[in-house]
Amino acid sequence: MNNKVLTLLGFASKAGKLSFGMNETKISLEKGKAKLIVVAENVSPKSQKEINFSSHKNHVNVITLNGVSIETLSNAVGRNCGIISVNDSGFADAISIGGYANDQ
């Protein structure tokens, strides 16, 4: 199932609908652009806690891709990152409603 998520994230990246990394993701959350946060499995516990807090405060769901490393996620989207903000409701719905990932 994660291959479908990674493919969707690749399409979203090419369409310019993602924010990459902790700082850009937090900015997207604060501006109300973020529709979904995607986190690689091996992101540090501190980063995971920080993004969960910011997402909860802004009422945005966070999913952790089980079995997907930072390297794999980075390869899928073409940027080095372990945390991504999906800034398009269509892509966010396809990933979360499609049941392709586990909510945190």
What's the predicted TM-score (pTM) here? 0.91
The CATH fold of domain 2-103: 60s Ribosomal Protein L30; Chain: A; (3.30.1330)
pLDDT in tens, 54-101: 999 999 999 999 999 999 999 999 999 999 999 999 999 998 876 555
Q: In DSSP terms, which residues pair with 37 in a beta bridge?
A: 62, 85
Match 């945390």 to its residue by tokens: 83
User: Which burial class, exposed, middle or buried, applies to 16 when counting CB atoms under 10 A from its CB (0-12, 13-18, 19+)?
Assistant: exposed
43-52 pLDDT, tens digit per residue, is 999 999 999 9
Return the residue matching tokens 């980063």: 47
* Closest among 18, 30, 27 to 90, alpha carbons compared: 18
- What are the pLDDT digits (tens) for 23-46? 999 999 999 999 999 999 999 999
Q: Are 95 and 85 in contact (CB under 8 A)?
A: no
